[in-house]
Amino acid sequence: MKENNRRTVRIYDTTLRDGAQGEGISFSGPGKIKLALRLDQFGIDYIEGGYAGSNQKDMTFFHEIRKYPLKHARVAAFGSTRRAEINVADDLNVAKLIEAGTPVTTIVGKSSRLHVEEVLRTTPEENLAMIADTIRYLKRQHKEVFFDAEHFFDGYKLDATYALLTLRTAADAGADGVVLCDTNGGCLPQEIFQITAAAVKAVSVSVGIHTHNDGGLAVANSLEAVRAGASQVQGTMNGYGERCGNANLCTIIPSLQLKMGCPVVSPAALRQLRPLALFVDDLVNLRPDGKSPFVGESAFSHKAGLHANAVQKNPVTMEHLEPELVGNKRRILVSEEAGTSSVLMKAAELGLKVDKASPAVREVLEQLKSLEHRGYAFEAADASFRILVQKVLKKHQPFFELDGFRVIIEKRGSEQPCVTEATVKLRVGGEVAHTVAEGDGPVNALDLALRRALIRFYPEIAKVVLTDFRVRILDPEEATAAKTRVLIESGDGSESWGTVGVSENIIEASWQALVDSVEYKLFREEDRRVLRKERGTKRAK
């Protein structure tokens, strides 16, 4: 149910700073610029570009981003309050905030007496002076200033009076907003709501929320803060961040907009949410999380036959919103649990016309379950499923016939790398193609030899590349004689598809998946040619 609430909530993205602190996350200099421009295009209100003075890459970003006129976002530089017992004008970190030249500065300061006394090793009074001095100094530089109250919720639970006093001090010094940080990420949603409500009452400036996911509640805590009156939400794309990550903006943004009635980006921008999430993962070379809410590949996937049947009749019965609203799409997974509805919907999704009353539907289902019993898995192998359906429908016309293949692996000494060579002999029409290729391994060599043999007949094969290769041992108790499942993901720059092969011989299983991959590409090209021909005929009429 949507909240009766149309107030403005600003989104503050800290992927380039807090997100970059996550394990395995690193942005190049050009990558930081690319992401900032993409976030601006999407409609993010604030982009925190890095920690001023902590490293040259962040400072370079602040200087480089000035060359690009942003349409919507304001860039923020992150820093800290002046150090204890130092004049603010003499503090090097504060000077770096000025040097960054951004219109917005966000400073972090202590709001917990425990941290003031045990970490800063100073007095509560001096900490308040550090906050006030720094904010006043930055405001004299005509900056928009936010105060990140570090460990605010934990500090509030220890000494509520002092925690709130740090907020009032920041507001009285001229801060444009205060941000409540659940720095350790251990608070519960009801605590966040109650304490945020108290903070909103205590200050006259805007209140923001910055949560971490150590308890798995960062998104829920952010939404509860908004419900309690927070008007700024800080987070990262895909939930990147230190330890268990930050609040995931890819979940928060659609939740605010579609479920709480708080519009934060345009509907057109929201439809680009999944492409944006994938772009960010690609930028840091991470495999996307298929289980991610809203934007994951599995977010609107249906496997059970009963679920697929319900979706076919009315998607609302099994989906909490239309996948297209967030740039995603519905997927029907076919497996041994599938029913006729799953088969029909999956066939339609792949562009195949199958009559509901046709006995072929039942035959496809029986073949599917038989193959899955033997170890095949079609959930991530849509292309192999399409070929299976075409074979059952007697519409499968092989593009080539195999005469044979051979793979040789040779090692010429303990210190020498393995040399792998594959030979493929096949027939296309009445012609024979016999090719040899060397590769990094047997599958790579076999793939290269196969495509080298086909490319003069089907030039479009040149665009196909293997993007992923996964092997699963199905019956490990059989040791080296175990049956092996190979899943291959392929792409051509505009589309990706999965294929599967199963055999006691890993090379044979790989060959099956490779052949399906190539044939799927050729089927797709044939479909496009037919479609272009039909369109040409219509225009001629």
What is the secondary structure of 292-338 as a DSSP string?
Answer: -TTTSTTTTEE-SHHHHHHHHH-GGGT-SS-GGGGT---EE--STT-
Burial class (CB in 10 A: 0-12, 13-18, 19+), 97: buried
Q: What pLDDT, on the 0 to 100 scale, is given for residue 535?
A: 65
Cβ pair 17, 49 in contact under 8 A: yes
> Using CA atoms, how far apart are residues 5 and 22, in angstroms rounded to an integer?
34
Q: Do domains 10-265 and 401-457 have the same CATH topology?
A: no
- Residue 490 is given by DSSP the state E
CATH architecture of 401-457: 2-Layer Sandwich (3.30)
Cβ pair 491, 468 in contact under 8 A: no
CATH architecture of 10-265: Alpha-Beta Barrel (3.20)
Cβ pair 256, 262 in contact under 8 A: yes
Residues 107-131 as b or e (16 or more Cβ within 10 Å = b):
bbbbbbbebbeeebebebeebbbbb
> Using CA atoms, how far apart are residues 541 and 535, in angstroms rounded to an integer?
10
> Using CA atoms, how far apart are residues 164 and 203, in angstroms rounded to an integer?
9
Cβ pair 46, 73 in contact under 8 A: yes
Give the DSSP H/E element, type plus range, for residue 424. strand 419-428
Q: Which of 531, 487, 476, 529 is nearest to 510 (CA)?
A: 487
The residues facing 472 across adjacent strands are 485
List, as own/partner pairs, every contact residues 402-406 make where C-beta atoms lie below 8 angstroms and the sequence separation is at least 24, other chains included: 402/426, 402/515, 403/427, 403/432, 405/446, 405/449, 405/450, 405/511
Q: Which of 375, 383, 378 is nearest to 365 (CA)?
A: 378
> Using CA atoms, how far apart are residues 344 and 350, in angstroms rounded to an integer?
10
> Using CA atoms, how far apart are residues 129 and 146, in angstroms rounded to an integer?
16
> Using CA atoms, how far apart are residues 264 and 72, in angstroms rounded to an integer?
12
Quote the tokens at residue 434: 């016999």
**Secondary structure (3-state) at 449:** helix
What is each CA distance from 228 to 250, 251, 256, 416, in whole angstroms?
21, 19, 13, 66
Q: Could you identify the residue written with the tokens 């919907």?
A: 345
Tally of CB atoms within 10 A around 352: 17
> Which one-letter amino acid corresponds to residue 331?
R
Give the DSSP H/E element, type plus range, for residue 520. helix 506-540
Cβ pair 121, 98 in contact under 8 A: no
Q: Could you identify the residue written with the tokens 């998607």?
A: 315
> Using CA atoms, how far apart are residues 50 and 97, in angstroms rounded to an integer?
11
CA angle 322/328/330 to nearest 5° reads 65
> Using CA atoms, how far apart are residues 474 and 371, in angstroms rounded to an integer?
13
Q: What pLDDT, on the 0 to 100 scale, is given for residue 5?
A: 47
Give the DSSP H/E element, type plus range, for residue 438. strand 431-439
Q: At what angle do helices 382-392 and 506-540 cross, to 10 degrees?
A: 70
Q: What pLDDT, on the 0 to 100 scale, is given for residue 169?
A: 98
Cα–chain center distance at 312: 28
The residues facing 298 across adjacent strands are none
> Using CA atoms, how far apart are residues 230 and 8, in angstroms rounded to an integer?
10
Tens digit of each residue's pLDDT, the chain (541 residues): 344 445 689 999 999 999 999 998 999 899 999 999 999 999 999 999 999 978 889 999 999 999 999 999 999 999 999 999 999 999 999 999 999 999 999 999 999 999 999 999 999 999 999 999 999 999 999 999 999 999 999 999 999 999 999 999 999 999 999 999 999 999 999 999 999 999 999 999 999 999 999 999 999 999 999 999 999 999 999 999 999 999 999 999 999 999 999 999 999 999 999 999 989 998 888 888 989 999 998 888 766 556 556 666 677 777 789 999 999 887 766 554 555 555 666 566 555 566 666 676 677 777 766 776 777 777 667 788 777 777 776 667 788 999 999 999 988 888 888 889 999 999 998 899 999 999 888 989 999 999 999 999 999 988 888 888 888 887 666 655 678 889 888 888 878 888 989 998 889 999 999 999 998 898 888 877 766 766 666 666 5
User: Where do the domains of the chain lie?
Assistant: 10-265, 301-374, 401-457
> Using CA atoms, how far apart are residues 410 and 469, in angstroms rounded to an integer?
22
Q: Which of 301, 315, 314, 397 is nearest to 346 (CA)?
A: 301
Answer left, alpha or beta for residue 351, where phi above 0 means left and psi between -120 and 50 means alpha: left
